[in-house]
Amino acid sequence: MALFSSKLSSLHKILQKTVLINGVRSVSGLKNEGIEVTLTKNPMPKIHEQVKSPNDIVFGKNFSDHMLIASWTKEEGWMKPKIVPYGNLSLSPALSALHYSTECFEGLKAFYGVDGKIRLFRPLENMKRMNSSAAAASLPEFDGAEYLECIKDLLRVDKDWVPKMDGCSLYIRPTFIGTEASVGVKPSNSAMLYTICGPAGPYFSGGAFNPVSLYADPKYVRAWPGGVGAFKMGGNYGPAIRIQGHATAKGCDQVLWLYGDDHQITEVGTMNIFVHWINEDGDPEIATPPLDGTILPGVTRMSLLELGATWGTHKVVERRMNMKDIIKAVEEKRMKEMFGAGTACVVCPVDRILYMDKSIHIPTVETGGEVAKRYYKELTDIQYGRAPNNDWTVTVD
C-alpha cells in the first residue's frame, strides 16, 4: 500500500509540471541553464577570412564549427540544450518532418559592429514568429527568451565566424523538426530544435542597388486564407521553386505573388513587398499589403513600417493593392518606386513587372529609389552599431 501511495505521489508531481501546449503534453520547459558545450577538434577553414572580396562569400554554402541542439519528447519535455561540433544528424527515414512537413525555421543575422561588438537585430521577434510557426506545425512551444540565450552561447563559441567586413554578417538558421519515427498523420511525439550558422556576404555587389524584375502570373498562388502562408514553414517554399524557374525562363529575377480574382499583390519572391507612390488623395505614401493570414509577418517589414512612421514625410500604411492599382499609378505617373524587404537584403528595388505578357516599367531608377535607400541606410546603421538602438539590437557580450 505504501509503495502504491509513493507511486501516486510521484505521478502527482509529474502531472503538476505538465501543461497542454499546441495540443501536446509538455513536461518541462526549455532552459539555457546548464547548457552543455562540446568543442570541435577539427576546426573548419573560415572562408570569410580567405576571400579577396566580401562578394566572394557565397550564401548558404559554408557553416561554422558548431551547432545548437535541443530535443523534446512528449513524455519528458525539453532536454538540456547542447552545443556540439557541426555535423550530420542521425534520423529515422520514417521521420515525421520528412513525410508530413512537421517543421518550421527562422532566419536572422549576427553583425560585427563598428565598436567590435556582435549584435543581433530584433531576435526575440524571430523567436516569437517561430513559436507561431511551430504551433501551425503541431510542434511544442518553447521559451523564446531562453532559446535566444542558447543562440548567444553558440555565437560566443563561434564568434570568429562573424565576418568583420562591412555589409557582411553571420546568417543564423534555427530549424524545428518533428522527429517521431512513425508514418502516421498526427502530431509528432518527439522533436528537435537546432541552429546552424554560416557567413553571408553583402546582398548588393559593391554596395550598389541592382533593381530586379518580377514575373506576375495570377494562375500561380503562394498562399490563401485559412492556409499557412503566414508561417515560416518549408512547405511554403519548396513548391515556389518551380515557379521561380518559370520567372527565370521569362527573363525575370523574382516572382510577384498574386491572389484573388482582382489579382492582389502579396509578396515578392521570399520577401514582403512595398510601394512608394502618390496616393489618389495626392499624399506621398509608403504602402505594404496587410497581414491577412496569407503574408509572412517579416521582421524587416515591421521595422520599415515603424521606422517610416517616425519620418513625418510620408503616410505609412498597410493596404490592399492589386495589379489594377499598380498599373493605374504607373500610367498616372504617381508611382515612385517599389521594393522587396527581408532579412537577406533589407530592401531590394524593383524596376519591372511582367504581367499578363505586358511589361510594366516601375520608375525606381529614375526617381533615385530615395525611400529604399533611406531605409537601407538607417536599418544597416542600427545593425552595425553606427546608430545605436538598444530597443532593436541585442549585444552578444
Whether 363 contacts 326, CB under 8 Å: no
Mean pLDDT of 231-239: 96
Residue 29: exposed, middle, or buried by beta-carbon count in 10 A (0-12, 13-18, 19+)?
A: middle
Is the pLDDT at 84 greater than 70? The verdict is yes
Of 338 and 6, the one with more pLDDT: 338
- Amino acid (one-letter) located at 135: A
Whole-model pTM: value is 0.91
Element (H, E) at 338: strand 335-342
Is 90 exceeded by the pLDDT of residue 117?
yes
pLDDT at 393 over 90: yes
Whether the per-residue pLDDT at 209 is higher than 80: the answer is no
The tens digit of pLDDT for each residue in 157-184 reads 999 999 998 889 999 999 999 999 999 9
Domain with CATH 3.20.10.10 in the chain: 209-385
**Does 11 score more than 50 pLDDT?**
no
CB atoms within 10 A of CB 245: 11
- Tell me the β-bridge partners of 176: 104, 193
**pLDDT value at residue 27:** 52
Q: Does domain 22-202 have CATH number 3.30.470.10?
A: yes
The alpha carbon torsion through 340, 341, 342, 348 (nearest 10 deg) reads 50
What CA–CA distances, in Å, run from 179 to 82, 155, 284?
Answer: 17, 26, 50
Residue 270, phi then psi, degrees to nearest 5: -110, 25
Q: Which fold has domain 209-385?
A: D-amino Acid Aminotransferase; Chain A, domain 2 (3.20.10)
Q: For residue 43, which of 59, 62, 66 has the smallest C-alpha distance?
A: 66
**Listed range (75-84, 117-126, 199-208, 385-394) with the worst mean pLDDT:** 199-208
pLDDT for residue 6 is more than 80: no
326 neighbors 360 (Cβ within 8 angstroms):
yes
Domain boundaries for CATH 3.30.470.10 within the chain: 22-202
